[in-house]
Chain A
């Protein structure tokens, strides 16, 4: 047997999957996000995706901000540059860690639950039942989730940014001995609007990725409980990888020059 055959199969499989995802994305945008809108579903998804993710995002941000302040203090003290702690914490949180960590945490929570829910609906023929009842599954299931995730994630990240900076402030003023006023002034002086908006743009993209991957893998799951389990895993893994890749691309686009 040709030793290159498995490699070829892998590449072909990857290309086929990419094509399927592209087609699904097209349907999601053209059908899912156009009228008619199921307002109850949209409201429900805002609650599930946005509101219920708040505690996870808040806790992640708080501890990350604290740890960041500690690390940067330890590093910068080698160059007698401790005064940079506040501004670097703020930059790190708003530009990178806020959106990326929130994206990853939400993909674990929300991406998994979307894939499990839609996967179960697929294997129990509930999605077929939607079709026969003249409700387009793209509009009823995919659209509301995409919309809620794309709008919720920037809001979550904005809250997370604030809490993360506050975490850094708590560590900075309570255990590193910074003056409270000076810490806040340093944060405010260095932080630019661009730093925050770039992070929020990233967050919106990550929200799109999370909902899309959850829906795609859920819709395409087959074969009972095991299939749904596989869909859930695939949704989380693929959205985590896509988030990290997209983050790299967005960082180079947004801060490239």
Chain B
């Protein structure tokens, strides 16, 4: 098993705020890594660094052996075409109907004809349990759960080799959350993709993870196979997975 995505000592500051502090993590090809950790610990920033949306101050990021920092132009397009991303807030284009959202990477990124892209979009919508009629609606007309599903369909539309899911189940009812979990597991199996998912939801983490890593203050403080999380022997991890207010993790309630 070879490492597909590797981050080494990645540092990122926003002004005085030190968000990533030497973050090191890797994901093997075809594996599903779930990253857990408190709010504001830099999970979304980590994904954006890999995607090149945020440029890290220092450290190495490589994907499939290729350096990923500071790419430009055609090289960057080529790099990004390997990824699908489900954003934390869905980030659907509200000026476009659902099917054009799903087809966007095909029509605008890859120059596919609209007719063909629409067929693929409808097919992907079906895979996430949405009918063709939903394709004509606008994102604002959908419930939060449906928006997440559309965002999921958009993330997998171009059959990417790597997919990131940023809090795919946050804000959904437990049943819908489980539906999304199943969809993720299903999609990943079908595509054989390498994935990184971020979640606060331990039920979701257990369901979709091969491996779990916990991030705290911009560093990975524990990682291991998903089935060893209950025997991590790490107080931080134990506190997080049991959701206890008392423990080594002190919420900076006043500072936040």
Using a CB–CB distance below 8 Å, which chain A residues touch chain B?
38, 117, 121, 124-126, 128-136, 140
**9-residue interface stretch from B33-41, B102-110, B123-131:** B102-110
Q: A38-B108, A124-B91, A134-B108 are in contact. Are A129 and B85 (CB under 8 A)?
A: yes
Give the docked Cα–Cα distance between A111 and B19 (Å).
35
**9-residue interface stretch from B4-12, B76-84, B223-231:** B76-84
Give the docked Cα–Cα distance between A121 and B81 (Å).
21
Q: Does B243 contact A (CB under 8 A)?
A: no
Contacts of B92 in A (CB 8 A): 126, 129
Give the docked Cα–Cα distance between A59 and B48 (Å).
48
| Binary flags per residue of B141-166, CB closer than 8 Å to A gives 1, else 0 | 00000000000001000000000000
Q: Are A125 and B91 in contact (CB under 8 A)?
A: yes
Shortest distance between the CB of B77 and any CB in chain A (Å): 5
Q: Are B53 and A134 in contact (CB under 8 A)?
A: no
CB nearest to B54 among chain A residues: A128
Q: Are B89 and A134 in contact (CB under 8 A)?
A: no
CB nearest to A133 among chain B residues: B105
Give the docked Cα–Cα distance between A256 and B211 (Å).
72
Give the size category of B's interface with A. Answer: 20 to 34
Q: Which of A121, A132, A140 lies in contact with B85, CB distance below 8 A?
A: A132
Q: Which of B80, B89, B110 lies in contact with A131, CB distance below 8 A?
A: B80
Q: Are A132 and B108 in contact (CB under 8 A)?
A: no
Give the docked Cα–Cα distance between A121 and B93 (Å).
8
Contacts of B180 in A (CB 8 A): none
Q: Which of A38, A126, A131 lies in contact with B51, CB distance below 8 A?
A: A131
Q: Are A134 and B88 in contact (CB under 8 A)?
A: no
Q: A133-B109, A134-B110 are in contact. Are A124 and B77 (CB under 8 A)?
A: no
Q: Are B108 and A129 in contact (CB under 8 A)?
A: no
Give the docked Cα–Cα distance between A133 and B77 (Å).
9
Give the docked Cα–Cα distance between A126 and B92 (Å).
6
Q: Which of A121, A126, A132, A136 lies in contact with B53, CB distance below 8 A?
A: A132
Q: A128-B48, A128-B53 are in contact. Are A135 and B91 (CB under 8 A)?
A: no
Q: Which 6 A-B pairs have the closest CB atoms?
A: A134-B109, A133-B105, A125-B91, A135-B108, A129-B91, A132-B85
Contacts of A126 in B (CB 8 A): 91-94
Q: Does B87 contact A (CB under 8 A)?
A: yes
Q: Which of B77, B87, B110 lies in contact with A129, CB distance below 8 A?
A: B87
Give the docked Cα–Cα distance between A121 and B91 (Å).
8
Contacts of B89 in A (CB 8 A): 124-125
Q: Are A134 and B77 in contact (CB under 8 A)?
A: yes
Shortest distance between the CB of A4 and any CB in chain B (Å): 24
CB nearest to A135 among chain B residues: B108
